[in-house]
Structure 1
Amino acid sequence: MLKRTLLAAALIGFTGVAIADGHGEKPHANPWSNFSLDNTLQSMPAGDATRGQSLHSQMMCNSCHGENGESPSRNYASINGQPAEYTVKMMLDYRDGRRWEDYKQANIMVKLAQALDDQQIADLAAFYAQGSTQAWGYTKPLDQDMHNKVDHLVRKGDFGRMITPCASCHGAKGEGNEIAPALAGQVPEYFVRTMQAYKDGARHNDVNEGMSQFTHDLTDAEIEALAEYYASLNKQ
């Protein structure tokens, strides 16, 4: 409650917009197509990492995501080292209503995104993109059989289940690429929640439902193992 109060006060002082309690009215944004997303990203202003660092502090992003975007908590995502295009897309998805899978948890992010203009979003994205992080510090070691299975999913996928290799979009070391987020060093609990949201159909801001299709046939054990696998990697 204190964190929400402080965050609301910061928003009032910075933008003149207060965070209201409750669900609010969901914006109606069209789903992304490859064409519309590409055009939108190209039309965004160039980001400034120095301004982004100031915004990170002023908007109290650090209260959840850490001093430099490396989450100190199992409850929130690490966002340092993320490709700028990915961060821009996520903020636009929150702002425009494409990402609305769990409003109770996402309330703050929705209101924050709605309080930012395109330049501020680009600045934050530039700040996070310049960062790097070490592996998440509280990973659970996988047994050899599960490690081999997950490593195969990451590098080779599973042709029988039509699962594309994770590395084909997210990089061989989980470093991310454009709108595909970095997974290395990600908080495992956040990774699991995200994958389950795609799998259950609660989250559908992925272009062409790519992630929804790939997660559909993954078992819960595989998702949890993937979370630990990526959490143990260093972002590059």
Structure 2
Amino acid sequence: MLRKTILTIAMASVSTLALAGHDSKPTANPWTNFGLENKIQSMPKGDPIRGEEVHTQMMCNACHGEKGESPSRNYASLNGQPSEYTIKMMLDYQDGRRWEDYKQANVMVKISRALDEQQIADVAAFYAQQPLNSWSYAKEVDQEMFAKMDRVVRKGDVSRMIVPCASCHGAKGEGNGIVPALAGQVPEYFIRTMKAYQGKHRNNDVNEGMSQFTHKLTDAEIEALAEYYAALGQAQ
């Protein structure tokens, strides 16, 4: 009961932070492969111990859990994410490359702008150090659809020119560099993200790689992929 009360207060505080003032969307050019690589390499080395302090002080734990493993279906799990990916996401929120008009995204814009590059690198290092775990509430899915998605993950779909998910996200959904880990991700967040790419509401993917991929997937396939990755555990 006490934990629930503390969580409620913390989330209310974060919401207040998000609603304090109204920012206009900044103008930022899309990432190029070269530009993004140079920016990531120019970032300071992250310290996971300091990163945990940032995670706590900025109340990231209110939404993303004590170690980055989301306790809620409303928020993404960050545990086990490659540090480069977390850095990119925070920079995207800062610069307006990722600008989704709903409450959680507005919170992230505010938080990202309150952090300097060292703090971003530190919290990214903290999340990268945490293990990937399967989502606790993954549900059973249609086995035929699950098998179909397993083929898409491992082999893609030549008939629709869909490349294998594993070619970027890893055979076990572990991610790599700026490519996020998908193993153990909250299925509702996964679905929301895929729909955002599909509907062009999110366009911070380099060379529109995800937008092109999601465009050819049905709603049922996206849901099955969400459950497929949610069930993967300990990918690292």
Using the size of structure 2 for normalisation, the TM-score is: 0.92
What are the within-5 Å matches in structure 2 for residues 97-136 of structure 1? 97-136=96-135
Preserved CA contact (<8 Å) 1:23 1:104: no
1:90 CA drift (Å): 0.2
- Aligned mates of 2:74, 2:140 — CA distance in 1: 20
What is the identity percentage for the equivalent residue pairs of Structure 1 and Structure 2? 69
RMSD: 1.5
Preserved CA contact (<8 Å) 2:10 2:59: no
Residue range with higher mean Cα deviation, 156-165 or 44-53: 156-165
- Aligned mates of 2:11, 2:170 — CA distance in 1: 36
Letter paired with 2:207: N
1:148 CA drift (Å): 1.1
1:78-123 per-position Cα deviation (integer Å, ceiling 9, x unaligned): 0000000000000000011000022433111000000100000000
Preserved CA contact (<8 Å) 2:11 2:62: no
- Aligned mates of 1:24, 1:37 — CA distance in 2: 24
Preserved CA contact (<8 Å) 2:11 2:63: no
What are the within-5 Å matches in structure 2 for residues 135-214 of structure 1? 135-214=134-213
SS in 2 for 1:229: helix
In the alignment, does 2:46 pair up with 1:47?
yes
Match of 2:225 in 1: 226
Using the size of structure 1 for normalisation, the TM-score is: 0.92
Letter paired with 1:182: A
Which consecutive segments of 4 or more residues in structure 1 shift more than 3 A? 1-5, 18-23
SS in 2 for 1:68: coil
- Aligned mates of 1:220, 1:170 — CA distance in 2: 21
Letter paired with 2:150: D
Structure 2 stretches lacking a partner, 5+ long: 1-7
- Aligned mates of 1:149, 1:22 — CA distance in 2: 47
Preserved CA contact (<8 Å) 1:23 1:107: no
1:141 CA drift (Å): 1.3
